[in-house]
């Protein structure tokens, strides 16, 4: 049986904008996030407190947080790689933080400049400190199906690192299909291992749609009981340290599928599409979602 309700976590302002070649001004980012806040979303990942030299697109993280109009009931979250980032995020008044690492050694090294073994104690400090400050902490694990450098990653390897992250005290783990190669049987093999151990209630799926398989993978995840999904408006996004990784599944395309399946999300399509149009005008180009294409033709 399918879940009756799904939580969509909008990651466009972080995962989308971190990969945009052109700098979007702080003011325009805030205007876009404010529009997203009007759509009924309950969770928006607004930025990332990583090193500004690594991700210059999000160097204005603190300014973005202080420029947006916070709507009650919405969680405004941000990515943090280490204690330095956590300090900056807490000073900026973030609601929730996410730590991140990869299931594969070489993607981890390329993305955060450390081995997996070196990363674990860094994240443990961040999780402990964030929890002591009363924050909910989300974990991200990237390359859960495949790594751009190493190829296929085994469910067992993902299970081992996931266990380490839950042992640190994270509240939820988002499984990143970073390069968008997965098909439903891959998702099934992974979730068959992870759900019995960590529970469907604490796992989220984060699909990039590089090869157009994200909705099929979400459908499989729904059948297996997963009810939290990450997506980004207009399919913006990618990982700058995974060559060829394109955007996340588009929020409005995911919303169409869930609505048509009778699954509740609390999100209004019309408001979402208006936010999409605003982003298109700010970026000066069309975004690639099916729903936005239909909306433009209508």
147 flagged as catalytic = no
The binder of 140, among Mg ion, ligand HMG, none, by C-beta within 5 to 8 A per type, is ligand HMG
Q: Which is nearer to ligand HMG, 51 or 70 (CB)?
A: 51
Q: Which is nearer to ligand HMG, 239 or 267 (CB)?
A: 239
Distance in Å, CB of 132 to Mg ion, minimum:
28
The binder of 100, among ligand HMG, Mg ion, none, by C-beta within 5 to 8 A per type, is ligand HMG
Residues linked to residue 44 through DSSP beta bridges, in sequence order:
10, 76
10 binds Mg ion (CB under 5 A): no
Give the residue nearest to ligand HMG (CB): 176
Cβ-contact 37, 44 below 8 angstroms? yes
Q: Which is nearer to Mg ion, 15 or 186 (CB)?
A: 15
Q: Which is nearer to ligand HMG, 178 or 289 (CB)?
A: 178
Out of 9, 10, 13, 15, which residue is the one contacting Mg ion (CB under 5 A)?
A: 15
Q: How far is Cα 80 from Cα 94, in angstroms, rounded to an integer? A: 11
Q: Take residue 269 and report the two structure tokens written for it.
A: 């399509």
Cβ-contact 90, 37 below 8 angstroms? no
Distance in Å, CB of 173 to Mg ion, minimum:
14
The binder of 57, among ligand HMG, Mg ion, none, by C-beta within 5 to 8 A per type, is none
129-168 residues in contact with Mg ion (CB under 5 A) are none
Pairing type for strands 146-147 and 75-79 reads unpaired
Stretch that binds Mg ion, among 14-22, 66-74, 182-190, 210-218 (CB under 5 A): 14-22
3-state class (DSSP) for residue 98: strand
Q: How far is Cα 147 from Cα 181, in angstroms, rounded to an integer? A: 10
Distance in Å, CB of 177 to Mg ion, minimum:
9
Distance in Å, CB of 156 to ligand HMG, minimum:
19
For the chain, the distance separating the N- and C-terminal CA atoms, rounded to the nearest angstrom, is 34
Four-point Cα dihedral 19, 23, 26, 30, nearest 10? -50
- Residues within the interface to ligand HMG (CB under 6 A): 15, 18, 48-51, 54-55, 81-82, 84-85, 88, 100, 111-113, 140, 142, 176, 178, 206, 208, 239, 241
HSE (CB half, 13 Å, CA atoms) of 99? Answer: 31
Q: Take residue 176 and report the two structure tokens written for it.
A: 């990143």
Q: How many residues bind Mg ion (CB under 5 A)?
A: 1
Catalytic residue among 116, 239, 242, 249: 239
Distance in Å, CB of 85 to ligand HMG, minimum:
3
The binder of 111, among ligand HMG, Mg ion, none, by C-beta within 5 to 8 A per type, is ligand HMG
Q: For the chain, what's the residue count?
A: 298
Give the list of residues 6+ apart from residue 54 with CB closer than 8 angstroms, or none.
none
Among 92, 91, 167, which residue's Cα sits nearest to residue 123?
Answer: 167
Q: How far is Cα 146 from Cα 169, in angstroms, rounded to an integer? A: 26
Cβ neighbours, 10 Å, residue 1:
6
Q: Which is nearer to Mg ion, 82 or 102 (CB)?
A: 102
Q: Which is nearer to ligand HMG, 15 or 253 (CB)?
A: 15
Q: Which residue ranges make up the site for Mg ion (CB under 5 A)?
A: 15
Q: Which residues are catalytic?
A: 239
């Amino acid at each position: 049986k399918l879940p009756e309700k799904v939580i969509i976590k909008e990651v466009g302002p972080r995962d989308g904008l971190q990969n945009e070649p052109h700098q979007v001004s702080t003011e325009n980012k805030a205007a876009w996030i404010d529009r997203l806040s009007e759509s009924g979303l309950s969770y928006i990942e607004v930025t990332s407190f990583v090193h500004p030299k690594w991700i210059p697109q999000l160097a204005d993280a603190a300014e973005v947080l202080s420029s947006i109009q916070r709507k009650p009931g919405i969680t405004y979250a941000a990515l943090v790689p280490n204690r330095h980032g956590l300090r900056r995020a807490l000073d900026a008044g973030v609601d929730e933080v996410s730590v991140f690492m990869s299931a594969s050694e070489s993607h981890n090294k390329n993305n955060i400049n450390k081995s997996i073994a070196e990363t674990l104690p860094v994240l443990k400090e961040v999780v402990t400190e964030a929890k002591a400050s009363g924050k909910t902490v989300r974990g991200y694990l990237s390359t859960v199906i495949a790594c751009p450098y190493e190829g296929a990653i085994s469910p067992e390897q993902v299970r081992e690192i996931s266990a380490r992250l839950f042992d640190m005290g994270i509240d939820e783990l988002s499984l990143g299909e970073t390069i968008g190669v997965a098909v439903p049987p891959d998702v099934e093999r992974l979730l068959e291992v992870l759900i019995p151990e960590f529970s469907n209630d604490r796992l989220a799926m984060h699909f990039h749609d590089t090869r157009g398989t994200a909705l099929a993978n979400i459908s499989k995840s729904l059948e297996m009981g997963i009810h939290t999904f990450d997506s980004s408006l207009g399919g913006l996004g990618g990982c700058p340290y995974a060559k060829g990784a394109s955007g996340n599944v588009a929020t409005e395309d995911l919303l169409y599928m869930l609505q048509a399946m009778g699954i509740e999300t609390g999100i209004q399509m019309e408001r979402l599409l208006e936010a999409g149009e605003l982003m298109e005008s700010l970026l000066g180009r069309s975004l690639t979602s099916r729903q936005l294409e239909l909306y433009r033709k209508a």
